[in-house]
Structure formats: structure tokens, C-alpha cells
Structure 1
Amino acid sequence: MTAVTGMARTTTFETYASYDELVARVRAGELGPDPATQRIAVAFTTRQAVRHDGRGTGYRNEVLSLRLAGAVGSCAVEPGALPDRAVEECVGANVAHLLEHPLLPVRVSALDAYLMHVAPHTPRNGALPVPLPAGTSLEKSRARAKAVVALLDLPTDATVLVVGVVNSLLEELRSRGLSYAPCDLKGGLTEWGEAVATDALAEAGRCDALLVSGMTLGNGSFEPLRRHALAHGKRLVMFAQTGSAVLPRFLGHGVSAVCAEPYPFFWLDGGPGTVHRYGGPWPAACPEGGR
């Protein structure tokens, strides 16, 4: 077993050099129970549209989630991209079967559910819990952004590639004096009128560190970014609603830190919540503070 030491805690699970290697080990039953014996009891999608008070732009989310015993694995998709049949195909299916499903988001959700089941986000597994205070969607978004950006640990002259534009993350980077290059497949403009690039790998060369959404697992762009960070010795921090239990498995192999946020996500209600950080210091407190 490979133990990966972060700044404050050591994981108790093995980490992997590539996504394909991790999937192969799961399929072989080397990380826990045979995935062919593990059946998905519930499959569902969560859809939302939001426009925070005081913000000039809004956004939409759609997430596929699969429940395995007490664990929920999730993968975000572009709104409208997931066919309705996908949910029905997942219910009652075993994890091994779903790891071979033709749709990548289904495969990622199944992998996430399995890994959440065998190694949940606990201090024993290297997770450092950060409480999110109750509040409005914007207040909770800003609180999460502080927990995420703190993992970058960069000098103020650094430039960060941000893959998956979240305005609260950009706002937090700005407050810390950090420059950034926003990138998202949808393109467009940020809240501050900055052009959003659509080719993350093309922008990565001019950046000192990478701050990347877990959604890259579901669209196939994670591995090239991980390999870039590893080859160039750059810090790669993942913020993960998609694949929150998957991404910590790449710590030390290109991924420097993960802010894992399993279902239910911060935007679903106004009560307190928790995110789980890997590869960073235990925070003294979570400052008060979506997208």
C-alpha cells in the first residue's frame, strides 16, 4: 500500500499513476469487495439554475448520482447532455457492469460511489473536514471558495489556470492578489468581463498552478491536465463534487490537493455543510462567507 503524506495527514489508501490504472484495480476487486457483487439501489439526477443576489450572471448544473449502500457517487454533466434512459439503466445494475457503460459520466459516478463506499471521507482516510456555515447560496459558495483556494499556497505573483469557471473562486483569487486564466468549455465571459478560454491545455503552459473542477473527469479532460502538472512540477488543486472519492486517489501523481464535496452539495440547502480537504493543512477555522 502506498501512503501519501500531505501537509497535515497521511492517507490510508493506495494512490495511482493514472485513471485507467485505478479503474483496472477496482475491476479486479483489489480495493474492496468484488464490484460485480455491489448493486446500485438508487440513481437520480439533480438539476438547478441559479443567479446569486448581486451577481450579473447565472449558471445551470446537472448531476448524475448513484447510491451504493450508504454512499453516493456523482458526476456533473452539461445540462441536457444525459439521456433519460441513463438513470433507468443504472438502477439495480452492479458496479462492474456500470464501469463498462458506454457513457463516461455513468462510469465516473459508479467509480465514485464504489470508492466512497470502501473509503469514505473521514480523518482516518486522510480527509480534513472544513465546516461550511449556514447561509445564502452566495455565502456558502464564498465559504467553499476560501476552503478551496487556501490549498493553492502560492506567492501573489503567480498565475492560476482555473478550469470550470466559478465566480466565487475567481473572486477569492482576486482578493488574494493572484492572477488567473479562466477556462470553461462553455466559453463566454466572467463576472468581471474577462474572456473565458475553451482549451484548458493550451492555456496551461503560461500558468504556474492549476485549479480544476472534478467535472473534468466526466468530460475526459482530467488526465491531460494531470499529466501536464506532473511533467512540469506544477501544483494541481481539484475542487470536486464530481468524483470526490476518486480524485484523492491521484495525490502524489500530479494532484497536489483535493477539496472533496460529496452529495448533498452546498447549493442544495441553506443549512451548514462540510467539505473535505486532502493534501492541505488542517484549517484553524472556516471563514464566514456558489458560484
Structure 2
Amino acid sequence: MTTTSRPPASCLGTLLDQALRGELGPDPSTRLISVAFTTSQAARHDGRQGGYRNEVLSLRLERAVGSCAVEPGALPAGAVEDCAGADVAELLAHPLLPVRVAALDAYLTDVTPHTPDHGAQPVTVPAGSSLERSRARATAVADLLDVSPGGTVLVVGVVNSLLYELRSRGLTVIPCDLKGGTTDWGEPIGTDALKGIGHCDAVLASGMTLGNGTFDPLRRSAWKRRKPLVMFAQTGSAVLPRFLGAGVTAVCAEPYPFFWLDGGPGTIHRYRAGDGGPDAVPRSRPYDGGTS
């Protein structure tokens, strides 16, 4: 199992700087992105009240693919073309945060792939319909939470299958998403996650927080209040394990291709603080007041 002495990252900006300086692996200016693409999805499951849209920017570096979800239509014209053929260093300093996150994810996936040697615990998402596979993933994610029935979980980035799974375990859910709206139960979805941290026993958050700039404030607030923070990550699946022990308790990492792209079996990877993640981080550390 990997046992380096490097401490966990203090914030996303620091991690990007470390990658740019070549402190996390090979000189990023020598690594080229061969393919850049977006995946656009619309879903409406049978029996569910509403549907949703996803759009993901993905960058191919050798055998690795790094991804960052974006709001549908948010990427400016030419952004994908600009990424193809660019070196990783250029993209780590790109003006668009989602491009920086996708580039960092590709680089770290290449440097520290999701294997047991790097602390990953593989979990199979069995073949099935999109809804069946969504529910299977929700079970794998929820298993990372250490909250007893009757407890309350702040969910940042509303995914209906996760809400159903948490409720089935006797947990109360505080839903939060920048899009707002209502849940399938008619409950209002809050838009300010930081307000909910003081009213929960644990936080379950989407990797999309990396791409919209809300991850570091959320992580710092959860860490300061001693609230466990579990991340489920299609965005930044190789980035978020770097924060284990620095406010992140566990990560369910799901690199491309995602469960919703086909009906066959697939693998997701779970990490827990103290279980020998990418940098063999400690199980917990005191809040250090770090800033982004």
C-alpha cells in the first residue's frame, strides 16, 4: 500500500499549484491531452416525478480520463477544441475552473490510478437499467456514512436515488443544490449548504462542488464543526481522495465511464481516511483554518 509522507492537500488551489510545479508527478508541461469531449445526458426514470440534465467535460491523458461536470450549455464555444492537444500545465492554469479541475483529475488519475495500492476499494455496480444501477451506486455511497437511524444528513447536490436510499435507512435528509427546486417529496431544496452544516450529523456532497467553486468553503466548514464529509465523485474522482484527513472522511470515486452511460457492470472505488489513500493520510487532523 502506498505510504508516502506527503500531507493531504490544504485546498484545491494549493493542489493545482503543486501539480503545476511537478510536485505530484511528471512535469505537466510534457504531458499532452489527446482527446477532449463533453457528454450530455437527459434522464427521466419511470416512477420519478422529474428528470434532470447532466453535462460533463472530459480530458484524455494517455490511459486516464479526467472529468468535471458543468451546467448544461455553460462551456463557451471553442473550449473543448482548445483543450485537445494542449499540455496539462496549460490547462491547470486555464481561466475556466472546470477545465482546471478536469485537467487535474486526468493528471492525478494517471499518476495515482484507482487501485488498491493507492487505497481504493473496488465495488461492482451490477448490470441493469439506469435506475437499478443508480440505486446500486447510491447503496455504495451511503455505506460510507457512519450515521445511525434517526440522524440527519446534509446532501449537497441532490440525486434522487441517494435521497431514497438515505430515507430507507431511517435518516433525515436536508437537501441542498444550487439549482434549488423541490424534492420528490415536495420539500424545498436549499441553495446555501453552509447554513445546513450546523443542523446535520454528516455531510454527503457531490464532486460537482469542485467545479463550481463551493468545495473548499464546504470542506472547511464541515472540518471546523467536526462534521464527517463524504464525497461522491464523478467530477474529480482522483482529486478528492487527496483531501482525505483534511476535512474529507471518505470518497466514492467514479471515473469515466459513468454508471449512466451503459447497462453493463462497472466499478466504482471507495476511499476512507486512514485506509492508505493516495498519500497515506491520517484518519483525522485538527482544523487548521486553511484557506483556498
TM-score normalised to structure 2 length:
0.91
Report the counterpart of residue 150 of structure 2 in structure 1. 157
Cα deviations across residues 218-256 of structure 1 (Å, max 9, x unaligned)? 000000010011111110000000000000000000000
Report the counterpart of residue 235 of structure 2 in structure 1. 242
SS at match of 1:117: helix
Report the counterpart of residue 96 of structure 1 in structure 2. 89
Q: Which of 117, 120, 140 is equivalent to 1:147?
A: 140
SS at match of 2:232: strand
Matched, 1:109 2:102: yes
Q: Which of 234, 237, 262 is equivalent to 2:255?
A: 262
Report the counterpart of residue 168 of structure 1 in structure 2. 161
Instruction: Give the residue type in structure 2 aligned to 1:24.
Output: D
Q: Which of 173, 177, 182 is equivalent to 2:175?
A: 182
Report the counterpart of residue 16 of structure 2 in structure 1. 23
Report the counterpart of residue 134 of structure 1 in structure 2. 127
**CA distance in 2: counterparts of 1:13 and 1:41, whole angstroms:** 32
Q: Which stretches of structure 1, 4 residues or more, deviate above 4 A after TM superposition?
A: 9-13
SS at match of 1:227: helix
CA 1:55–1:280: 2 relative to 1, 3 Å: farther
SS at match of 1:245: coil
Q: Which of 225, 230, 249 is equivalent to 1:232?
A: 225
Report the counterpart of residue 287 of structure 1 in structure 2. none
Query: Residues 1-80 of structure 1 correspond to what in structure 2 (within 5 A)?
Result: 14=6, 15-80=8-73
CA 1:198–1:95: 2 relative to 1, 3 Å: same
CA 1:226–1:167: 2 relative to 1, 3 Å: same
**CA distance in 1: counterparts of 2:193 and 2:51, whole angstroms:** 22
Cα deviations across residues 41-79 of structure 1 (Å, max 9, x unaligned)? 000000010001111111000000000000000000011
**CA distance in 2: counterparts of 1:185 and 1:54, whole angstroms:** 24
**CA distance in 2: counterparts of 1:232 and 1:10, whole angstroms:** 30
Alignment RMSD: 1.5
Instruction: Give the residue type in structure 1 aligned to 2:184.
Output: E
Matched, 1:123 2:113: no
**CA distance in 2: counterparts of 1:12 and 1:156, whole angstroms:** 37
Shift of 1:157: 2.4
CA 1:13–1:84: 2 relative to 1, 3 Å: farther
Report the counterpart of residue 3 of structure 1 in structure 2. none
Shift of 1:12: 5.6
Query: Residues 213-224 of structure 1 correspond to what in structure 2 (within 5 A)?
Result: 213-224=206-217
Report the counterpart of residue 189 of structure 2 in structure 1. 196
SS at match of 1:17: coil
CA 1:265–1:12: 2 relative to 1, 3 Å: farther
Instruction: Give the residue type in structure 1 aligned to 2:38.
Output: T
Report the counterpart of residue 285 of structure 2 in structure 1. none
SS at match of 2:79: helix
CA 1:90–1:142: 2 relative to 1, 3 Å: same
**CA distance in 1: counterparts of 2:242 and 2:76, whole angstroms:** 29
SS at match of 2:16: helix
Question: Do the aligned residues in 2 keep the contact of 1:163 with 1:212 (CA within 8 Å)?
Answer: yes
SS at match of 1:205: helix
Shift of 1:13: 7.9
Q: How many residues align?
A: 274
**CA distance in 1: counterparts of 2:147 and 2:3, whole angstroms:** 23
With 96-105 and 245-254 compared, the bigger mean Cα shift is at: 96-105
CA 1:12–1:169: 2 relative to 1, 3 Å: farther
**CA distance in 2: counterparts of 1:168 and 1:10, whole angstroms:** 33
Q: Which of 80, 84, 89 is equivalent to 1:87?
A: 80
Shift of 1:25: 1.1
Question: Do the aligned residues in 2 keep the contact of 1:12 with 1:124 (CA within 8 Å)?
Answer: no
Question: Do the aligned residues in 1 keep the contact of 2:108 with 2:239 (CA within 8 Å)?
Answer: yes
